[in-house]
Structures are given as C-alpha cells and as structure tokens.
Amino acid sequence: MAEVFLAETVDPQGEQLQVALKLMRKGITEEQFADEADLMGMLSHPNLVNRLEIGTAFSRPFIAMEFLIGGDLREVMNAHREQMKDFPAAMGIHVALEVLKALAYFHQATSRSGAPLHLVHSDVNPSNVFFGGHGEVKVGDFGVASSSRASIGPGEGVAAGKLSYLSPEQTKGEKLGPQSDLWALGVTLYEMVVGYHPFLKEGASEQDVMQAIRAAKVAVPDYVDKPMAQILLKALSPDLRTRYKTAGEFGGALFQYALDRNLHLHPSQIQEWLESVLGLLV
C-alpha cells in the first residue's frame, strides 16, 4: 500500500527527530490512504505506532510515524534462526501480551464522537510488530484495517508473504471480527514458542497454505508443555465458538501462564535481548 523511508523532521522543541515516512504508492486511492491516516490520528495507545504528521511530499501524500529503532519481530525471529538460537519463551510471551494490549484497545476503539468503530486489524503478523529502543512493543500498519461489519474478499489487501497468517474465515472471504486478529497472533505465538510456522511448509504454494489454514489441523510438539499447547490450540481453533473471544480473554490465559512460571519481564530486559540479537546501539 505504501513505501516507507527513514526521514528527519523537527519536533515542537526544535530538536531533530527521526521518523518513518510512509508515502502512498501508485494504484492506491488518496481516499484509502487518507482513511489510514485518519484512523491513526484517532488512535492513541502505548502499544500502537503513533502518527506524528500528515502532508504531501514529491506530490504524494505521506504519513510521518514514530521511528522504532528495534526493527520488527520478523527481523528478530530471522536473526535467531541465523544464529541457530531458540526464541526465548519468556520473550515470546511478553511480545504476545503487549500485542494483545494493543488489540484490546484497537477492537474497542471509538470515533471522535464516541461511536464504536468495530475495528479489525486484518494484518497481524511478525512484520507488523515493532520494537522501540527501550524495549517497547508496538503494532503498526493499519492499511488494511477494516470494520468488523464489512465483508472482504479472501486475502484481500494482504501481501502474498503474509497470507499464512490469515484466519480460516479470512481465507473464505467471510465477515471478520476480532477473533481473526487473535488467530493471527496465535500463529505468531506458535512460531515464537514452537520454532516454526504451523501452516507454512517448505515448497508449499499459496493455495497449499490456504488449504492448510482452512483444515486447521494444528499439531503442537511434545516439547511444548500442556498448558501452553492448550493456549495455542484454543487460539488456533477453526471454530469461532471455541477460539478466544477477546484479546482480554487470550491475554488473561497467557498472563496466568507467565505468572505461574515467573516469566514476566521488564522492558529493560527486552532492550538487552534486542541488543544481544541485533547488536543495536540503543
């Protein structure tokens, strides 16, 4: 939907500030881009990427957003694989809990007049989870966010590389609700805890992946303890009646799991972890 560049601006105090500059691509209507900019302007939460400014550059509309030096979760997961290291379970749980805070707010967001927006992010995946330099975890990219009252085509608006995070109902073009976002986070949590994607197999075509998602035959290996396996299977239930209903319900189960095992982390520990994995100077 857009191209993103690192840019500099001046903050209200006159200090230089690095920002992520999102420029509208050709083929996207100004109305679509403006909708995303307007949505970002209505939302404010510590776990969501903040919009700082909107305008026009090079005859193209832009959104200036806070620049997060820690990169995204996909980069961090790839770095672990390259270093042949397991993704720390405590880190994966912490990241998922922070994303769930963002989703709880997002799903309950209201317009400026106080009317419920009924929002669904529709594109939760590791590439849209970002890290700040001090261990913050933030969800970004609201370009395909939609109202849960709307129906969209199968995979509509989602890049090919992200199709493996679609929910079963999303692959069928059915009306989406918050549970679709919880499914996508369940896939992401599975990757962090188990070490591989539950539906994405080497050499699989996009059609193969879509069929695997619809079948939703999720197997959790024995090295994952039973309580975590139950959390993953509930998040990845193809039946909406048995899947987590809300981000709060999902987060409550995950929080209790972490509490029982003393796995809660401080942002400074996340910062140290990012430094060790990516060599960040933060």
* DSSP SS3 for 110: strand
Residues 6+ apart with CB under 8 A from 26: none
CA angle 266/74/77 to nearest 5° reads 65
Alpha carbon dihedral 231, 250, 198, 83, in 10-degree steps, equals: -90
Of 166, 82, 92, 154, the closest CA to residue 129 belongs to: 92
Task: Report whether 179 contacts 167 (CB < 8 A).
Answer: yes
Where residue 243 falls (left for φ over 0; alpha for ψ -120 to 50; beta otherwise) is beta
User: Distance of CA 200 to CAs 70, 179, 213, Å?
Assistant: 26, 21, 9
Annotated active-site positions, please?
Answer: 123
Task: Report whether 68 contacts 132 (CB < 8 A).
Answer: yes
Residue 115 to residue 256: CA distance in whole angstroms: 32
